[in-house]
Structures are given as structure tokens and as C-alpha cells.
Amino acid sequence: MQNGDCDIYLDIYDDGLQTAVKNGNPQMITKYIEEGLEQSSHVMCLVSEGTIKSWWVPYELGYGKRANKDLSTLTLKGTVTLPPFLEISTILRGTKSLNDYLQSISDRVSRSVYESLRQSLKSHVVPIHPLDNYLDWKY
């Protein structure tokens, strides 16, 4: 999926992965997860109640860590206590920490990618940010 100059891999848009999940094929699920992670420079885990209960998330983070990917975890508003396996990543608890994180990685990623992300967030430096419905704004 293309977002400005930033390529984003989101597993729900991976038709091969979704077919493997539907068919209950763990070998193919693993194959598609690994392919998606190998093509990524950064891995961000968006935490919901489902994420915490998933058996695949610890695998994905472990694979990402082993492949020396920059790991982060973004929590949704009101997210329950995080499981220990997420502690290997940078924890982002809201809009402010997400913006700070994007700034911190700017030196390690293409300037055009960072600028694309920054511009998409720039217009939201107002009292109400669209993500404030989902993220805690003060962190």
C-alpha cells in the first residue's frame, strides 16, 4: 500500500496471507508474515485487545527483532496492560509519543519518507487530532 512516499505493509491487505489464514495454513501464514517483515525497515505493532491475545504477534516481533528491524508498539486509547513480549519494542502511547518517534527515526530513513509522514501529521497540530479518538494525546 502506498502512502505518499511511504510504503506501508498492513497484513489485512495481504491477499495471500488472508487466504492462508482463512485456510488455516500455518506454513503459508508464516511465509507471508516473514515476506512482509523482510520488506520492511520498521515494524510497528498496533495494540488492541485482539493483538494481546494473538499467538502470531510475539512471532512477528521476534522475527522482526532477529532481522534487526526497528520495533515499536502503538497502543490504542484505553489499552489494557501490555504483555511482556511487547517490552522489546519502543512503546508509543499516544499522538505526542508517535510524533516524537517519527522525528527520532527521521535520521535513519529516507528524508522523503519522513517528510511524507510529517506532512500528513502536520495538519493535525491543532487541539483535536483525528487520532485522539484512538490514542491518548498527552503521552
Report whether pLDDT(115) > 60.
yes
Residue 98: domain span: 2-133
Q: Structural domain tally of the chain?
A: 1
pLDDT tens profile 7-21: 677 888 899 999 999
| Residue 139 within any structural domain of the chain | no
Length of the chain: 139
Q: What's this model's pTM, rounded to 2 decimal places?
A: 0.69
| Residue 81 within any structural domain of the chain | yes
State whether residue 39 is helix, strand or coil.
Answer: coil
Output the domain CATH number for residue 72: 3.40.50
| Residue 25 within any structural domain of the chain | yes
pLDDT tens profile 48-90: 878 888 888 999 999 999 999 999 999 888 766 888 888 899 9
| Residue 109 within any structural domain of the chain | yes
Q: How far apart are CA 96 and CA 29, in angstroms?
A: 34
User: Quick one: cell of 7?
Assistant: 510504503
Q: How far apart are CA 42 and CA 60, in angstroms?
A: 12
Q: Judge contact between 83 and 61, C-beta under 8 A.
A: no
